Amino acid sequence: MNRMNEHGGICVFSEANDLILELLGKARELADKLHVKLTAVQFGKNAQEKANELVRYGADKVYALDNPALEIFQDEAYLNVLHDIAVRDSPEILMIGSTRNGKPLAARLATRLDAGCVPDCIAVELDGSGRLIGERITYGGNALARVAFKSKPQIVTVPARAFEKRAPQERKGEIVKLDVKVEPSRVEVVERKPLETSSERVEEAEVIVSCGRGLEKKDDIALLKQVADVVGGQVGCSRPLVEDRKWFSEWIGLSGHKVKPKLYIASGVSGVIQHVAGIRDAKIIVAINKDPEAPIFEIADYGVVGDLYQVLPALKDALKKQLQ
Ligand SMILES: Cc1cc2nc3c(=O)[nH]c(=O)nc-3n(C[C@H](O)[C@H](O)[C@H](O)COP(=O)(O)OP(=O)(O)OC[C@H]3O[C@@H](n4cnc5c(N)ncnc54)[C@H](O)[C@@H]3O)c2cc1C
């Protein structure tokens, strides 16, 4: 049955440029299965230009709100627009990026629409009757919950890197310019400054050399950096190196970045579930740990039982030789 022209469909939104493309990748697959229209929402300066990109990445229709006042995320204004679109189009699925702004936005939208909301889905699929099932990590990373909806719209939030972008294609889509009256914000932005983070984004790295509490002092990060430099990778870490030792500003894991590198080298990381939750999509995991019983060996593709202070320099030399 072709329901392409009926009311309904799937609507995606994220204020994060990459994340909305990832959402479109998965949403396109679902829309094709359900034979429904895929709509995206784009706010801010150059919204129409960006809307064309969203069409290339899978959207059938994009609402473009080319309003400089909406360039920066504004919870009330974004919520009103998404609510109006949801009321007008009655999408059966609303997929929103799980960002710091997106999660509360989705929760508020669900409240207004009297709908269910499943946050932080790392996977979504349709059951036999076309109902959405969201899968999320729960109990501190110890279990996976599969949650089905009992009503529509079905609202999910999805974190970065859960889904792949599709390859962009030249496709035709409808771009609908929307003008909305933006009420003056009740919040004044006093100052904006970039977060002090490593210059590159660890979640985009193809190779990550990471360390845990097995690393004794901050200066020893140089050992990891030397290995990472040989293979064009980046350095990452477990949460205690940020929270307790303050050596880094971002960590990898359940409550940190979820990464998908081709190669993940974990040195001096025990491999508890909360860390593993962030690296389960790595293609190859190499573990270096002096404790042969460390849980990281259970998920590693290759394991080296040894002292990272000996193994990392030897690995660097071997890699250098190999790549010469
Ligand atoms: C709600 C919640 C969320 C959390 N989220 C995260 C998260 O997102 N990411 C995260 O990482 N953690 C997270 N944690 C913390 C997590 O539970 C662990 O405490 C943490 O991951 C352990 O870090 P680690 O492996 O570096 O340290 P440890 O568990 O102390 O392991 C250190 C390892 O280094 C090895 N080692 C020591 N010296 C050497 C050496 N010289 N050479 C080789 N190996 C050596 C040891 O054998 C040991 O296995 C979370 C915890 C909670 C409660």
Tell how far the Cα of 214 is from the centroid of ligand 1, in angstroms: 8
Kindly give the number of the ligand 1 atom that is closest to the alpha carbon of 271: 25
Within 6 Å (CB) of ligand 1, which residues are found?
140, 212-214, 238-240, 251, 253-256, 268-270, 272, 274-275, 278, 288-291, 294, 307-309
Q: Tokens representing 88?
A: 């007008």
pLDDT mean over 107-130: 96
Tell how far the Cα of 212 is from the centroid of ligand 1, in angstroms: 6
Domains of the chain by start residue, with CATH: 5-177 (3.40.50.620), 202-323 (3.40.50.1220)
Can you give the pTM of this predicted structure?
A: 0.73
Cα–Cα distance measured from residue 275 to residue 239, given in angstroms and rounded to the nearest whole number = 8
Residue 138: is its pLDDT beyond 70?
yes
- Residue 89 DSSP code: H
Tell how far the Cα of 250 is from the centroid of ligand 1, in angstroms: 14
The C-alpha torsion from 17 through 19 and 25 to 31, rounded to 10°, is: -100
| Of the candidates 282, 208, 261, 196, the residue with the CA atom closest to the CA atom of residue 238 | 208
Cα–Cα distance measured from residue 239 to residue 255, given in angstroms and rounded to the nearest whole number = 8
Residue of minimum CA distance from atom 29 in ligand 1: 270
Cα angle for residues 289, 291, 293 (degrees, 5° grid): 115
pLDDT mean over 213-222: 97
Q: What share of the chain is helix, strand, coil (3-state, %, to 5)?
A: 30, 25, 45
What are 254-307's pLDDT values in tens digits? 888 989 999 999 999 999 989 998 998 899 999 999 999 999 999 999 999 999
Sheet of 154-158: strand order equals 116-118, 154-158, 93-97, 10-13, 38-43, 61-65, 174-177
Kindly give the number of the ligand 1 atom that is closest to the alpha carbon of 269: 25
pLDDT mean over 218-238: 96
Q: Could you give the count of Cα atoms lying within 13 Å of 140 in the half-sphere of its Cβ?
A: 2
Tell how far the Cα of 267 is from the centroid of ligand 1, in angstroms: 10
Tell how far the Cα of 158 is from the centroid of ligand 1, in angstroms: 26
What are 80-101's pLDDT values in tens digits? 999 999 999 999 999 999 999 9
Residue of minimum CA distance from atom 38 in ligand 1: 214
Q: What is the pLDDT of residue 74?
A: 87
What are the φ and ψ backbone dihedral angles of 241, each rounded to 5 degrees?
-75, -15
Q: In whole angstroms, how far apart are CA 181 and each of 40, 66, 109?
A: 20, 12, 19
pLDDT band at 2 (very low <50, low <70, confident <90, very high): very low
Tell how far the Cα of 268 is from the centroid of ligand 1, in angstroms: 8
